[in-house]
Chain A
Amino acid sequence: MIYDIRHVTRFDYGHAVKFARCNLRLQPIDWPGQQVEDYALTVAPAGRTHPARAEAGLANVTRLVIEEPVRRLTIESRARVRVDRLVPVPQADDPTLAEVARMARGSTDLSAASPAAYLYPSPLIPPDRAIADYCAPDLDPSRGALEAGIALARRIQRDFAFDAAATLVDTPPHEAFAQRRGVCQDFAQIMISGLRAAGLPAAYASGYIRTIPPPGQERLVGADATHAWVLLWCGPARGWVGVDPTNGIWMASDHVVVAIGRDYAEIAPVDGVVLGAGAQAMDVSVDVAPLDEESAAAAAA
């Protein structure tokens, strides 16, 4: 499947902003099962952009510097991504959760893709007893890792209500957990918290899901904005397997990964500092359209 993605972020500032430096983590990464074929970033008014030096998570980062006073900033990110990811099927010989935990602890890889990087609490996902207890029934150490992962994602999808008004971008996991409602970020953080409490390596994935469902299927939740879900490392053979607790499904060909980190703070699509007084308003629109084979061929030619 090939997707054309258009992600527009508009900032309106109450007063002119004097000096802004931002990190843009908008260009999708190449990742098993997906490849970025084309990418364009447009900023208006045009600031200086250059690739940022290094990052905490797995992300393509562009540093944006605007030195002229601006009252409005528009960032448009366009990507064409080929996604070719099968729905994972749990097998009897999948490593158990106990084996996954043990192998992760023994890792000799310090890179950002290593399970070792995702075993510990992170700033936005501190350890939480209640969440750990809630997740524990699905995480018996002797259970197969994939089977356990999808079971927990489905239980969260069943037990929690999607409610965009219930939480904010900085609502901590324990609050969303207590009210059993929230959005994709909350569900992903709750699931990650539970997995890590059980000693498992779990990462936060941000990205997109297709806007219009295939004929005869329902539209997925989170299709008109950026989406977030969970990656669980399932041993060296299986690698990172994605599960989406908002929809109770696997990450497969409807999902496009933009960035992977320990939590949202590491891979926020736009963050940074602006100098100025007064409020800012932000508006985001996302469109993820599958390209049919014909137009894809035409585009390639």
Chain B
Amino acid sequence: MATQPALFDAASHAQRWIEEYRTHDLRGDVLAAGADPAWMAAFEELAAVAGDDLGQARERVQRHAADIGTGFRIIDEEFERPWPVSPVPLLIDVQEWRTIERGVAQRADLLETIVADLYGAQSLVKRGHVPATLVTGSPYFLRPLVGVAPAGGRHLHVVAVDLGRGPTGEWRVLSDHLRMPSGAGYALENRLAVSRALGGLQGRINVRRHAPFFAAFRAGLASACHRADPRIGLLTPGRYNASYAEQAHLARYLGFLLVEGDDLAVREDRLYVRTIGGLKRVDALWRRLDPRLLDPLAFDTHSRIGVPGLIDAWAAGNVVLANSPGAGVLESAAFAAFLPQLSTRLTGADLILPSIATWWCGQPAEAAHVRAEMASMLLSSAFGHPLAALAGTTPGAELTAEGRAAFLTDLERRPQDYVGQEIVRLSTMPVVIGDRLEPRPFTLRVFAARDGDGRWQVMPGGFARIGEHPDPRAAVMGEGLWSADVCVHGAEAVAPVSLLPAPDSLHIRRNPGTLPSRVADNFFWLGRYLERGEALLGAIRLMLGNSIDADTGAALAPETVGRLVGEIVAAGAAPRPASLRRADLVPFARTALEAGEGGWQSVAQINAHARRIGAVSRDRLSADMVRLLDAPFPRQPGMLERCGSLQRRYAAIAGLSAEHMSRTAAWRFHDLGRRIERAAATARATRAFGLAGASLDDLTTLLDLADSQISYRQRYLTGIARVPVVDLVALDPGNPRALAFQVEAIRAHLAALPVLDDDGMAEPQQVEATALHALVTTAQAATLDAGTLGEIDRRLATLSDAVAHRYFLQGAEALRAAGLTLA
């Protein structure tokens, strides 16, 4: 039995890790009472995959997270950072979890009742249970929404609650997230990464699954819509948002359209998405955009990422927003102080999960208490406004004498700006630091969403944030912070949940729905850039003397090299070299290949364009494709080696798009971009190397540029002659690299894409494609001249413009009308 020693090793490694861990001060740790069988199982699974090397276990999980495409962005950074996920999950027993589950659902119901009152009858304020200034202090109290009943009947559809576990094991609420509850995608990704790395754990300790929660959320949002098969979007602020990767992942997972403000339009109080088939109704949005930026007409006129008129559409009941834009009013630290008494008053029941003790200084008694006890409190902004007397959340004990005086003075003037909170001591959990387990404090974010019946479902698990500081609330994800998967486990086996709906409730859909214009635009240009990069790379390689034709040797005739240089210069990839001597050509090639500045359209620059498009299309591209697009520029010492490495990458990408992308409209745009670019490149190459008077080197180069050497040899055994070369490269519809082949493919794509009217009339881009097709199919190789090739090149540009005009967002710049002369 070969496996037995390994199992034995795993158990002994786990035992030793825990023993070593227990040398730390574990008062309040999740393992304080010793490691129960579930934790033992987790460590054994870790040891089974990583042996005695915990550092390796961590890297393994990290690698899986990177494969899944999880990342996050620090504001103002160009590249996303890898998601820091710890290999050790947080384990919570299902009995303990039930309390959290009930507590979060109870809290969500209470929050809904309060939001509905603040934006409705306002009786809590009128009766004095909630001070008006507790509401107006929040920057997320949106007065224009008072009196608006939320479309679909509910203000809240999805909420997140941050919990802290105290040293004695009790869970308490640190904060509520109603505005843009983020992180559900990270929980999903952590689970995926950890279960790929520690596959056995899930079944071994019966870990509850996430999938039913997401299915319930989807069904809940859908049931709030008017239409039976609603179109739901995830509204993102765009790729520079810190959690864009998470949003893209969630959109893909939930089957929501990932949209930006520009993709949406409001007409007659209804919301639409701009698609290649025209405007299509949108029934609901999960918005991840700050509410104040949602609609420049309703709130901040400066917002350029919002949707003008969205709030009117919502108020008219025509689009469901998750959550309603004004819900964030309850997120303030000050409001949390009122929840326990509001719970008793409104429901007669105490909160199952208590909040941490908070005193809002807007009330005289509370202000006096904070003044007296500030040394043992955390002092903080009541509503998140910048404060006159505190730099941020500060322990009262850490204030200098001056700081204390300034705080007390401002507390006198503006008590309503401040809260005092008890300083929480958080429980710790094991995390891998270096190659050892060390205890670190953690918080737990839990998610709840309404299901199809409007009841709250709580995601079993969530995600844990692990920090260096004893109270990690103030810290943002970044250096020194980890996240961990949270496993709710129990003795009961997890029923094999089928995520598939009942067979009769779902109709088959081969076309995955609407293609937003922005996505079509991105895929089209992704195709064009990839093809453009590949063509430029081919020219550079040839110029560097890498012809595969053994007869002509490595060196091409100077005239041919000169023409290649001319093509590279015409592409804007590099400035014309001083001469065709090697000493000038090598730096020329280097610029064309990898110039990062100077405005040259080098291969590296073209790759960067493609990578940016890949970054915003990750909800629709395979992880393999994204990884290839994201791969750093090759670093081999030799330029030819770098070229070769790039060439293989291009081939891999082309293979993925040809073999792995479904034949959706998105793929058509991608392929259309490739075909137009390749057709133009071939037309230009034929004009440069294939006209009357072309030398043998010219023709060989043309065959190389068109990747048709082998095809030519298979057809013509007699040697290279101009007319057959031109026919093969330009006019032979059977050669997949030929101009004629591209033009035929273009025509076919445009015939298959949607048209706006069903009157049977061809649209302008179709007319262009047909005319181009006629021009190419009637041409003769012997008489194909510079004029005709130039005409083909021009028509391709016109065609590309016609495609853009018909299908893509027309980048109309929004101007502000605000601003009058004042005196």
Chain A residues engaging chain B, CB cutoff 8 angstroms? 9, 11, 17-23, 53-56, 63, 101, 104-110, 112, 114, 116-117, 119-121, 123, 126-127, 129, 132, 164, 169-170, 183-185, 197-199, 221-228, 265, 268-277, 280, 282, 284
Contacts and interface: CB of A to CB of B under 8 A. Distances in A.
Contacts of B823: 164, 183-184, 221-227
A55 B144 contact: yes
Given A53-B315, A105-B416, 16 more contacts: A54-B143, A54-B145, A107-B133, A117-B136, A169-B818, A225-B821, A226-B822, A270-B817, A271-B818, A272-B818, A273-B301, A273-B816, A274-B817, A282-B819, A282-B820, A282-B821
B136 A108 contact: no
A20 B817 contact: yes
A290 B449 CA distance: 61
Contacts of B478: none
Contact of B309 (A21, A54, A121, A271): A21
Contacts of A221: 823
- Would you list the 9 A-B pairs with minimal beta carbon distance, nearest first? A271-B818, A116-B132, A222-B823, A225-B823, A54-B144, A169-B819, A271-B301, A275-B812, A107-B132
B189 to A, nearest CB: 35
Given A114-B132, A127-B388, A273-B308, A170 B819 contact: yes
B819 A23 contact: no
Contact of B814 (A110, A197, A268, A273): A273
Given A18-B812, A273-B815, A276-B813, A197 B144 contact: no
A272 B296 contact: yes
Interface in B3-33: none
Contact of B820 (A22, A53, A269, A274): A269
B478 to A, nearest CB: 26
Contact of A109 (B132, B137, B416): B132
A183 B812 CA distance: 34
B414 A199 contact: yes
A21 B133 contact: no
Interface string B141-169: 01111111000000000000000000000
Nearest to A63: B297
Given A23-B297, A184-B823, A222-B823, A105 B362 contact: yes
Of B126, B362, B417, B817, the most chain A CB neighbours within 10 A belong to B817
Q: Main SS of chain B's interface residues? A: loop
Contacts, number: 172
A2 B315 CA distance: 38
16 contacts: A54-B146, A108-B125, A108-B131, A117-B143, A126-B386, A132-B388, A169-B821, A226-B823, A228-B822, A268-B301, A268-B819, A272-B297, A274-B815, A274-B817, A276-B813, A276-B815
B820 A284 contact: yes
B547 interface: no
B388 A197 contact: yes
A139 B118 CA distance: 33
B71 to A, nearest CB: 31
Nearest to B301: A271
A142 B735 CA distance: 92
Contacts of A185: 822
Contacts of B822: 169, 183-185, 222, 225-228
Contacts of B816: 271-274
A53 B315 CA distance: 9
A60 to B, nearest CB: 14
Contacts of B148: 53-54
Contacts of B386: 121, 126-127
Contacts of B383: 120
Contacts of A120: 136-137, 383, 385, 416-417
Given A53-B315, A227-B823, A272-B297, A198 B817 contact: no
B817 A22 contact: yes
Contacts of B622: none
A282 B143 CA distance: 30
A267 B309 CA distance: 18
B300 interface: yes
B813 to A, nearest CB: 5
Given A197-B388, A272-B301, A273-B815, A226 B820 contact: yes
A235 to B, nearest CB: 16
Given A105-B416, A107-B133, A199-B414, A265 B300 contact: yes
A105 B301 contact: no
Contacts of B299: 56
B135 A110 contact: yes
Contacts of B137: 119-120
B394 interface: no
Contacts of B385: 120-121, 127
B817 A123 contact: no
Nearest to B147: A54
Interface in B794-823: 812-823
Of B144, B816, B822, the most chain A CB neighbours within 10 A belong to B822
Nearest to B316: A53
Contacts of A199: 413-416
A105 B131 CA distance: 8
Contacts of A17: 815
A152 B819 CA distance: 27
A17 B416 CA distance: 46
Contact of A276 (B297, B315, B414, B812): B812
Contacts of A284: 820-821
B122 interface: yes
A56 B144 contact: yes
B17 to A, nearest CB: 51
B814 A275 contact: yes
A119 B133 contact: yes
A126 B139 CA distance: 12
A247 B587 CA distance: 69
Contacts of A108: 125-128, 131-132
Contacts of A101: 413
Contacts of B388: 127, 129, 132, 197
Of B300, B312, B385, B816, the most chain A CB neighbours within 10 A belong to B816
Contacts of B820: 9, 169, 225-226, 268-270, 282, 284
Contacts of A225: 820-823
A240 to B, nearest CB: 16
B298 to A, nearest CB: 9
A280 B817 contact: yes
Contacts of B814: 273-275
A299 to B, nearest CB: 28
Contact of B143 (A112, A119, A127, A183): A112
B563 to A, nearest CB: 40
Nearest to A209: B823
Nearest to A53: B315
Contacts of A164: 823
Of B136, B144, B315, B823, the most chain A CB neighbours within 10 A belong to B823
B413 A265 contact: no
Contacts of B126: 108
Interface string B175-195: 000000000000000000000
A280 to B, nearest CB: 6
Contact of B817 (A54, A169, A271): A271
Contacts of A223: 823
Interface in B263-318: 296-297, 299-301, 308-309, 312, 315
A75 B416 CA distance: 42
B132 A268 contact: no
A15 B732 CA distance: 47
Of B122, B132, B297, B301, the most chain A CB neighbours within 10 A belong to B132
Contacts of A276: 812-813, 815
Contacts of A268: 301, 818-820
Given A56-B143, A272-B296, A119 B813 contact: no
A185 B821 CA distance: 10
Interface in B598-657: none
Nearest to A104: B133
